[in-house]
Amino acid sequence: MRSLPLLSITAAVSLSAAASAQSFDYPDFSSLANLSLVERAAQLGTVMRVHDTAGTGGNNRGAIWYDQPMNVVGGFSTTFEFQITGAGSGDGMAFVIQNESIAGTHGGVGVTGIGRHAAACGYGMFTTSVAGESIENSVAIEIDTYTNGQWGDLNNNHISIHTGGTGDNETGEGHSIGRTGLLSTDLNDGLVHTLTVNYVPGTLEVLLDGVSVLTTAYDFNTGGTWVDSASAVGGLDLIGGTSAWVGITAASGGSVENHDVLSWSFTSGAPSSLFCSPANDHSGGQPVTLASSGAGTSGVYHLEATGGPSAEFGFFLVSAGANPTGLAVSQGLLCLSPPLGRYSATAGPGLNSLGSFDAGGVFQSLAGGSATGSGFDVPAVLPQPPGGVITSGQTWHFQLWYRDGTASNFSDALSVTF
Q: pLDDT tens across 9-48, in order?
A: 222 222 222 334 578 999 999 999 999 999 999 999 999 9
**Percent of the chain beyond pLDDT 70?**
88
What is the pLDDT, as a whole number, of residue 350?
56
What is the pLDDT, as a whole number, of residue 393?
67
Residues 237 and 375 in one domain: no
User: CATH no. for residue 196?
Assistant: 2.60.120.200
- What does the pLDDT average to over 120-133? 80
Residues 281 and 261 in one domain: no
Question: By C-alpha distance, which of 352, 324, 283, 344 is closest to 412?
Answer: 324
| 173 within some domain | yes
Question: By C-alpha distance, which of 366, 320, 315 is closest to 343?
Answer: 315
What is the pLDDT, as a whole number, of residue 298?
44
- What does the pLDDT average to over 57-74? 86
Residues 338 and 388 in one domain: yes
- Domain end: 216, 242, 268, which one? 268
- What does the pLDDT average to over 99-110? 77
* Distance separating alpha carbons of residues 109 and 104, to the nearest angstrom: 8
**4 Cβ neighbours under 8 A, 6+ residues apart:** 27, 28
Query: pLDDT at residue 294 above 60?
Result: no
What is the pLDDT, as a whole number, of residue 237?
96
What is the pLDDT, as a whole number, of residue 217?
93
Q: How many domains does the chain have?
A: 2
Q: What burial class does residue 167 get, using C-beta atoms within 10 Å of its C-beta: 0-12 exposed, 13-18 middle, 19+ buried?
A: middle
Question: By C-alpha distance, which of 188, 185, 176 is closest to 151?
Answer: 176
DSSP assignment, residue 389?
B
- What does the pLDDT average to over 136-142? 96
Residues 121 and 236 in one domain: yes
Other residues' Cβ atoms within 10 Å of the Cβ of residue 270: 28
Higher pLDDT, 257 or 281: 281
- Domain end: 220, 248, 268, which one? 268
Whether residue 292 contacts residue 304, with contact meaning beta carbons closer than 8 Å, is answered with: yes
What is the pLDDT, as a whole number, of residue 351?
77
DSSP assignment, residue 383?
P
Residues 106 and 180 in one domain: yes
Read off φ and ψ for residue 183, nearest 5 degrees: -105, 130
What is the pLDDT, as a whole number, of residue 71?
87
Query: pLDDT at residue 3 above 50?
Result: no
Q: Between the ranges 119-123, 185-189, 381-385, 401-405, where is the mean pLDDT highest?
A: 401-405
Residues 234 and 301 in one domain: no
Read off φ and ψ for residue 413, nearest 5 degrees: -115, 155
* Distance separating alpha carbons of residues 27 and 192, to the nearest angstrom: 14
| 84 within some domain | yes
Other residues' Cβ atoms within 10 Å of the Cβ of residue 185: 12
Q: What range defines the domain where residue 401 resides?
A: 272-417
* Distance separating alpha carbons of residues 317 and 386, to the nearest angstrom: 11
pTM exceeds 0.75: no
Lowest mean pLDDT among 96-105, 125-134, 201-210: 125-134
Residues 253 and 276 in one domain: no
Average pLDDT of every residue of the chain: 85
Residues 46 and 72 in one domain: yes
**342 Cβ neighbours under 8 A, 6+ residues apart:** 315, 316, 317, 318, 383
- Domain end: 244, 268, 292, which one? 268
Residues 237 and 298 in one domain: no
